[in-house]
């Protein structure tokens, strides 16, 4: 009981330090969003156009190979790409959070956990903006689903953010210590891409019992349901999927918090 009280006190104190750095965090996030498209003619429109164009390429090829109706297969692929971008960024791209913030970490005493938050927030902002492409597609292909689809976005985004932030914290600590991390994880994520329903449908996994089992237990499958059920089928994902994804996100956050507590003070020595 005493240990729990000490933990809660430390936790509250850490949250207070994070709250004090909120304006600094907002400034970093705004700068990242603006800098990403600096001197670009289309600017933020690329956030919508890039996944749409990639979807068009993949849908054109795979609708022919797998005999799928491109009109309904394309939004399936687009929803997969939007979620995959968050996961991939959290595992690989956001792993450089501490490296990118080296000068800030050496100058200020802000909790270093705000730098993975910075990266995760940018990912979620990109997701929300890119979702406009999926919303537009839904208006034309599944107009009856649009209300539920839009209403589902806030809760889905919160769950995605918690998961992305948690993974970003862990990947940042790994990256700052092991500089081979992004190269290894790029290969791992490429392998996972083909084993996940990013653009493969469940029936495409039925030919192999092992692959289908992996499909069912793969957390990515459930995270994808949170966006696919409202947009493609017109109803919210079942309660089990929301509880499962929220539970996985919470476990990741606990693991990330433990990792950060153990290694936070030593990060500066690896920069």
Q: Which of 32-36, 71-75, 102-106, 245-249 has the lowest mean pLDDT?
A: 32-36
Give the pLDDT of residue 34.
78
* 52 close to 79: Cβ distance less than 8 angstroms: no
- The beta strands (E) that lie in 70-214 are given as none
Q: Report pLDDT digits (tens) over 108-129.
A: 888 899 999 999 999 999 999 9
Q: Extract the tokens encoding 130.
A: 């890119």
* 166 close to 123: Cβ distance less than 8 angstroms: no
Q: Extract the tokens encoding 24.
A: 């600094």
- In angstroms, the CA 116 to CA 138 distance is 32
Give the pLDDT of residue 6.
64
- In angstroms, the CA 186 to CA 172 distance is 15
Q: Is the pTM of this model over 0.85?
A: yes
Per-residue confidence at 42, pLDDT binned at 50, 70, 90?
Answer: low
* Average model confidence (pLDDT) across the chain: 87
Is a pLDDT exceeding 70 seen at residue 245? yes
Residue 3, phi-psi category: left (phi > 0), alpha (psi -120 to 50), beta (remainder): alpha
Give the pLDDT of residue 174.
95
Give the pLDDT of residue 202.
78
* 163 close to 94: Cβ distance less than 8 angstroms: no
Give the pLDDT of residue 201.
81
Alpha helix (H) residue ranges in the chain:
2-20, 22-36, 45-65, 70-91, 97-100, 102-107, 114-141, 146-177, 181-195, 209-217, 219-228, 239-263
Per-residue confidence at 41, pLDDT binned at 50, 70, 90?
Answer: low
Q: Which of 187-201, 234-248, 251-265 has the lowest mean pLDDT?
A: 187-201
Is a pLDDT exceeding 60 seen at residue 3? no
Q: Could you tell me the maximum CA-CA distance found in the chain, to the nearest angstrom?
A: 63
Closest CA to 118 of 21, 13, 11: 21
What's the half-sphere exposure (Cβ side, CA atoms, 13 Å) at 91? 16
What is the mean predicted confidence (pLDDT) over 122-147? 90
Give the pLDDT of residue 98.
92
Per-residue confidence at 217, pLDDT binned at 50, 70, 90?
Answer: confident
The C-alpha torsion from 65 through 70 and 76 to 80, rounded to 10°, is 60
| pLDDT above 90 as % of the chain | 44
Give the pLDDT of residue 184.
92
Dihedral sign computed on CA atoms, order 256, 261, 265, 266: negative
- In angstroms, the CA 122 to CA 270 distance is 25
What's the half-sphere exposure (Cβ side, CA atoms, 13 Å) at 60? 6
Which position has the higher pLDDT, 14 or 229?
Answer: 229
């Amino acid at each position: 009981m005493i240990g729990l009280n000490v933990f809660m006190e430390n936790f509250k104190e850490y949250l207070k330090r994070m709250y004090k750095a909120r304006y600094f965090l907002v400034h970093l996030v705004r700068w990242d969003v603006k800098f990403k498209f600096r001197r670009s003619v289309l600017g933020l429109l690329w956030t919508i156009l890039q996944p749409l164009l990639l979807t068009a390429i993949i849908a054109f090829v795979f609708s022919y190979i797998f005999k799928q109706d491109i009109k309904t297969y394309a939004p399936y692929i687009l929803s997969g790409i939007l979620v995959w971008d968050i996961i991939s960024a959290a595992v690989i791209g956001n792993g450089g959070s501490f490296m990118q913030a080296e000068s800030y970490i050496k100058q200020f005493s802000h909790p270093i956990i705000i730098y993975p938050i910075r990266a995760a927030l940018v990912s979620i902002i990109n997701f929300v903006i890119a979702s406009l492409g999926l919303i537009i597609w839904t208006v034309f292909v599944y107009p009856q689903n649009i209300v539920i689809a839009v209403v589902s976005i806030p809760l889905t985004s919160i769950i995605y953010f918690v998961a992305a932030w948690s993974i970003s914290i862990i990947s940042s600590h790994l990256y700052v210590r092991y500089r081979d991390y992004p190269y290894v994880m790029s290969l791992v994520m490429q392998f996972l891409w083909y084993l996940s329903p990013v653009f493969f449908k469940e029936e495409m996994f039925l030919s192999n019992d092992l692959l289908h089992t992996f499909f069912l237990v793969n957390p990515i499958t459930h995270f994808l349901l949170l966006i696919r059920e409202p947009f493609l089928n017109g109803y919210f994902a079942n309660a089990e999927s929301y509880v499962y994804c929220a539970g996985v996100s919470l476990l990741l956050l606990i693991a990330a918090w433990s990792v950060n507590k153990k290694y936070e003070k030593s990060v500066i020595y690896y920069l």
